């Protein structure tokens, strides 16, 4: 049926990818290599190895990618203060280019002809994965089962698994989460179930990482985050690896009811979709980064970044991490971060991240001699403002004269 001999499958060990593994063999009569990425989703991944072995897979890759995920993807994105449509911190989107990259590397290493993902034909992930594949390996063949097969319901997937003897654990009716969930070190997302009705509130027991703000402690938590070249490097003076730092902020933020959002977003494929997201550490980092930039980044650089950010966010959301335009924007953003050094002090309290202090010993542009409301000893000549205002008002005055009858 096909010239495909070997496929690298992005494999979780769940219902969908377990069925896909066998379907690839049935449909393409090919060898399957499984790849499972540890991005800090908080689940034990060795069962995925056992399931793949039970299904006769000989080449199994389970990679701990937590540090490169945060260091090379999450932190560069946060240098831009990135938000999609003003709210979404892009936790799912930013994971896809790394998964695609590693899949392509494994395909090269194993001599595979194709790569395969389990994303549906309705979502953004199919686009993100495949743009990544093609951007890294232009001639790779891509298999997207949800666009090919007729197993378009949970019942059909379960029936297929039963017919082929595929063991599916914990899939009894009424068991498990009713939501489609995706987790990594940056966030956990929830879609489907009651969330498909945009008027129905999310159930209280849906959330996994955070307490409700009203249930958070009555005593605020204060912490210091140190920045170096735009990236956080320490909490309360303790240096940490990127993934360890984000994990710590997730715990602190979750304990204080921080990071929950409920949004309706515009998918790249055209439809609107409701999703709930928990991003405790990311919410803290966004506020902290803007605070340290407020004293270390000059006005026009900061405003230029704010103008470019929506475009940068859209590129990541739509799957263009490996595009030349994203790389060009990244180079500009990274250039602005060379002097973004210092410490931000934050207070976490009942769902709020409150900036209470910021300082930079070497790179602050804040001059209290100039900004003071007290005697500035001549540091700023207020008479200079008169000419500045008149020059900037010139076009307004000319326009006003012309408008007169």
Measured in degrees and rounded to the nearest 5, phi and psi for residue 285 equal -65, -35
pTM above 0.85? yes
* Beta carbons of 50 and 41 less than 8 angstroms apart: no
Task: Please give the pLDDT value at position 44.
Answer: 80
Model confidence at 171: pLDDT above 60:
no
Mean pLDDT computed over 392-397: 96
Average pLDDT estimate for 177-190: 89
| φ and ψ of 372, to 5 deg | -60, 145
Please give the structure tokens belonging to residue 181: 């969930």
Q: What is the mean pLDDT of the chain?
A: 94
pLDDT band at 93 (very low <50, low <70, confident <90, very high): very high
pLDDT tops 50 at residue 173 = no
Instruction: Please give the pLDDT value at position 176.
Output: 53
Mean pLDDT calculated for residue range 220-224 = 98
Q: Average pLDDT in the 103-125 region?
A: 96
Asked if residue 94 lies in contact with residue 74, where contact means CB atoms within 8 angstroms, the answer is: yes
Tell me if residue 180 is catalytic: yes
- Predicted pLDDT at 177: 62
From the candidates 16, 255, 334, 376, give the one annotated as an active-site residue. Answer: 16
Residue 2 has pLDDT above 80, yes or no: no
Cα(238)–Cα(225) distance, integer angstroms: 9
Cβ atoms 301, 334 nearer than 8 A: no
CB 281 within 8 A of CB 247: yes
- With 0-12 / 13-18 / 19 or more C-beta atoms within 10 angstroms meaning exposed / middle / buried, residue 397 is exposed
**Is 246 within 8 Å of 186 (Cβ atoms)?**
yes
List Cβ<8 Å contacts ≥24 apart for 137-140. Answer: 137/104, 137/107, 137/108, 140/104, 140/107, 140/114, 140/115
Nearest to residue 279, comparing CAs of 82, 98, 79, 101? 82
Tell me, what's the pLDDT at 43? 82
Token pair in block for residue 164: 């082929």
Burial of 277 (0-12, 13-18, 19+ CB in 10 A): buried
Catalytic residue among 113, 125, 182, 231: 125
Task: Give mean pLDDT, residues 12-39.
Answer: 94
pLDDT at 169 over 70: no
Q: Give the tens place of pLDDT for each residue, 350-367.
A: 999 999 999 999 999 999
Q: Are 308 and 329 in contact (CB under 8 A)?
A: yes
**Identified catalytic residue from 66, 79, 96, 339:** 96
Mean pLDDT in residue range 323-338 = 98
Token code pair at residue 7: 């496929």
Of 79-93, 144-158, 173-187, minimum mean pLDDT range: 173-187
> Which among 290, 70, 80, 302 is positioned nearest to 187, based on CA atoms?
70
Range name among 9-18, 106-115, 348-357 with the lowest pLDDT average: 9-18
Asked if pLDDT for residue 1 goes beyond 70, the answer is no
pLDDT at position 46 is 87
Residue 267 has pLDDT above 80, yes or no: yes
Does 125 participate in catalysis according to the annotation?
yes
The answer to whether the beta carbons of residues 64 and 81 sit under 8 Å apart is no
| pLDDT tens digit sequence for 30-52 | 999 999 999 999 888 888 999 99
Mean pLDDT, residues 14-25 = 93
Pull the structure tokens for residue 209.
């990482």
Q: 172: which 2 tokens? A: 């009894």
- Catalytic status, residue 38: no
Handedness of CA 125, 131, 135, 136 (dihedral sign): positive
pLDDT the model gives residue 152:
83
- Residues 119, 103 contacting (CB under 8 angstroms): no
């Amino acid at each position: 049926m096909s010239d495909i001999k070997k496929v690298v499958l992005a494999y979780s060990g769940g219902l969908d990818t377990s069925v896909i593994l066998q379907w690839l063999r049935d449909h393409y009569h090919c060898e399957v290599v499984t790849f499972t990425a540890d991005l800090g989703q908080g689940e034990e991944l060795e069962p995925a190895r056992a399931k793949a072995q039970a299904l006769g897979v000989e080449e199994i890759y389970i990679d701990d990618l937590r540090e490169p995920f945060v260091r090379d993807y999450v932190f560069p994105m946060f240098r831009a203060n990135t938000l999609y449509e003003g709210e979404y911190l892009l936790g799912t989107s930013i994971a896809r280019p790394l998964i695609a990259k590693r899949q392509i590397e494994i395909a090269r290493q194993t001599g595979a002809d194709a790569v395969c993902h389990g994303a549906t034909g309705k979502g953004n992930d199919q686009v993100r994965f495949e743009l990544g594949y093609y951007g890294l390996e232009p001639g790779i063949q891509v298999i997207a089962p949800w666009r090919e097969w007729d197993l378009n319901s949970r019942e059909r997937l379960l029936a297929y698994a039963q017919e082929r003897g595929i063991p599916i654990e914990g899939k009894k009716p009424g068991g498990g989460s009713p939501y489609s969930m995706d987790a990594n070190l940056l966030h956990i997302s929830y879609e489907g179930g009651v969330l498909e009705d945009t008027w129905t509130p999310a159930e209280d027991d849906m959330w996994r990482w955070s307490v409700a703000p009203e249930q958070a402690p009555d005593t605020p938590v204060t912490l210091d985050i140190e920045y170096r070249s735009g990236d956080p490097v320490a909490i309360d003076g303790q240096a940490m690896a990127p993934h360890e730092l984000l994990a710590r902020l997730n715990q602190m933020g979750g304990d204080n009811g921080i990071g929950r959002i409920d949004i309706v977003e515009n998918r790249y494929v055209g439809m609107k979709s409701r999703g709930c997201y928990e991003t405790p550490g990311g919410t803290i980092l966004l506020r902290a980064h803007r605070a340290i930039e407020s004293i270390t980044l000059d006005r026009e650089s900061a405003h230029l970044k704010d103008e470019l950010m929506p475009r940068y966010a859209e590129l990541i959301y739509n799957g263009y991490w490996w595009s030349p335009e994203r790389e060009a924007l990244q180079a500009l953003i990274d250039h602005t971060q060379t002097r973004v050094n210092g410490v931000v002090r934050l207070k976490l309290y009942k769902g709020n991240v409150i900036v209470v202090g910021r300082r930079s010993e070497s790179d602050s542009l804040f001059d209290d001699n100039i900004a003071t409301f007290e005697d500035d000893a001549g540091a700023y000549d207020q008479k200079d403002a008169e000419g500045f205002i008149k020059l900037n008002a010139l076009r307004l005055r000319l326009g006003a004269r012309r408008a007169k009858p």
